[in-house]
Structure formats: structure tokens, C-alpha cells
Amino acid sequence: MAIIDPQAAVQAPGIDTTPGDGLSDVAEGRPLRADIIKRFTRNKLALVGLAFLLLLLLTAIFAPLIAPYEYAERTAQFRAPPSSDHLFGTDTIGRDIFSRVVFGARVSLKIGALATLLMLLIGVTFGAIAGFVGGSTDTVMMRITDIFLSIPYIVLAIAIATIFGRSENSIILVLGLTGWLAISRIVRSSFLSLKQLEYVESAHAQGFTKGRIMFRHVLPNAMQPIIVFGTVSIGSVILSEAALSFLGVGPQSPTPAWGLMVAEAGAGSLTSAPHMLFFPGMAIFLTVLAFVLVGDGLRDALDPKLK
């Protein structure tokens, strides 16, 4: 009986397994997370946007240390232009605009983050159920979405704001309850395609519940558009808050909301004190632009076609 050498048995004819050749040259696979980070860091504009957002977050956290005045503190100078005492000037009642812009970062980031979280919770759940269940349930739920989409956004927001009042929390509710429609349709489209794949059929065959399949198996594979949408939506929410404040249904004074500051500057002070509009308006512009740049960078980094 012939004795087979184990080392010789694993070597197939024509395949060289010596170091430096053949199978040993096959590169070790990299984690997907490392691949995404590498692609994201290649986008210089996305890194600039991320750096600005980190700076804005630090400004919001350490606002009492950065601002020279309290956001509601009044001075003896009214509509004063920028100077060494007041870097961004003062408003119509003598409040330091630089201090209000700094404290306003807290208000804008809070409204943007919480309203986006609320709209994602509603939109993702609504779209996931519609896309996964399908049939008449999908039809009814999408018709409800169409009804809300047919109502002008500003009219719906003003109606909700009238009910809940004018405050930061009410604006979060207004923007969260009116901004979930788009993401629900995006998630529905993702679930309609993903539920046809083999791993979903396998999960059904193993007896898993629909809820577990939806949120444990299908949802993780639909996270790419959700992450991108959520990032861009924070900037959009901040812009919407500014629009609502300009229409008079946003937070009330003396809350240092950037949109409210723009609205106050536009009420007869635009020509005599343009700095009242410029600085809060520039803060809104740069913040929204930063979120858009980061969202674009995440979209490119998460796109498997760009790997």
C-alpha cells in the first residue's frame, strides 16, 4: 500500500506555492469599512466640509467660552457696525451678533439633528413596511404619501406650527412631521428590490418573522441611501428653519436662531445695517454647504460601483 505524502498531496500540478509566487501573491482582503474611509478621504471637498462641521460642533459645545457676551445681553450700541468690541456688530436692540451667531450654532444643530432623526424614524419605517409587505398595503400607504406630497410644504408646516406653537421643540416636530415623505419613497424602492434576493427567501424558509427580516436582514443592506439622505437633510432642515423663521412661525426672540436673526435683519435694517443679515446668513450658507459636501462624499464612498 502506497504512502501518500500530505505535503505533496496539497500541491496540484502546475501550481507553484513557493513564497513570492502563485497563491502566496493573492492579496489579503481589506475590510469594507477601511475601503469606504479610503474613498471618502480622497474627496477633498468632503474633508473640508467635515472639518467645518467639526469646528461648528466645537463652537456649539464651547459657546459660553467663545462668545464675549450672553446671546440676550444688551449693550448701549444699537446697529453698530463690526468693530474690535463687537466683531460682527450689534443688532437693533444692542445685542452682540457674534455672540448670537455662536450660540445659534447650538440651536441650528439641535433642530437639524433631532428633526432629521424624527423624519428618518417615520420615513424609514413607513417605506420599509410599504416596500416589504407590498400588495394593497403598499398601494394604500403610497397614496397617503402622494396626498401629503400634493399639499404645499410651507402651508403644511405653518398649519402644524400654529397647533404646536413657536419654539425650538415645535419646529423640530414641524420639520420632522413634514420631511419624511421623500425618504419613505427611497426606502420603499430599496426594499422592493432587496426582498427578491435569495437571502430573504432563505430567512423566510427558516421561519423568521417579517419584522426580523425587515429590520435585521433587509434594512442593513438599504442603509447607503439612508445615510446620504440623512446627512444632506440636516442642512436642508437648517435652511427650512430659517425659512419658517423668516415667515414668522419659527422660534421666538431672544432665541439665537440664525433664521430668526435673518428675519429681524430684513425688517427695515437691510440698507442701514447690512451686517445684521450678512453674518447669520453666511453661517446658514456655510453650514448647509458643508453638509451637502459631506453628503456627496459619503454617497461616492458608499457607492460600490466606484470601488
Angstrom distance (rounded) from CA 234 to CA 226: 12
Residues in the chain: 307
Angstrom distance (rounded) from CA 65 to CA 195: 52
User: What are the backbone dihedrals phi and psi of residue 95, each rounded to the nearest 5 degrees, phi first?
Assistant: -80, 140
Angstrom distance (rounded) from CA 268 to CA 228: 39
Angstrom distance (rounded) from CA 225 to CA 231: 10
Angstrom distance (rounded) from CA 219 to CA 126: 12
User: What are the backbone dihedrals phi and psi of residue 268, each rounded to the nearest 5 degrees, phi first?
Assistant: 90, 5
Angstrom distance (rounded) from CA 2 to CA 156: 85
- 247 burial level (CB within 10 Å; 0-12, 13-18, 19+): middle
For the stretch 17-71, pLDDT in tens is 444 444 444 445 556 677 778 888 888 999 999 999 999 999 999 999 999 999 8
CATH superfamily placement of domain 33-67+87-306: MetI-like (1.10.3720.10)
Q: Would you state the pLDDT for residue 53?
A: 94
User: What are the backbone dihedrals phi and psi of residue 29, each rounded to the nearest 5 degrees, phi first?
Assistant: -65, 145
Three-state DSSP state, 75: coil
Q: Which three cell numbers stand for residue 48?
A: 473640508
Angstrom distance (rounded) from CA 174 to CA 247: 14
Measuring CA to CA, which residue among 91, 115, 31, 100 is closest to residue 70?
100
More confident call, 211 vs 11: 211
| This prediction's pTM | 0.81
DSSP string of 212-274, one letter each residue: HIIIIIIGGGGHHHHHHHHHHHHHHHHHHHHHHHHTT-SPPTTS--HHHHHHHHHTT-TTT-T
Helix axes 181-194, 135-150, angle to 10 degrees: 160
For the stretch 254-287, pLDDT in tens is 888 888 888 888 666 667 788 888 999 899 999 9
Q: Is the pLDDT of residue 105 over 80?
A: yes
User: What are the backbone dihedrals phi and psi of residue 90, each rounded to the nearest 5 degrees, phi first?
Assistant: -125, 165
Choice among 20-34, 74-88, 197-211 with the minimum mean pLDDT: 20-34
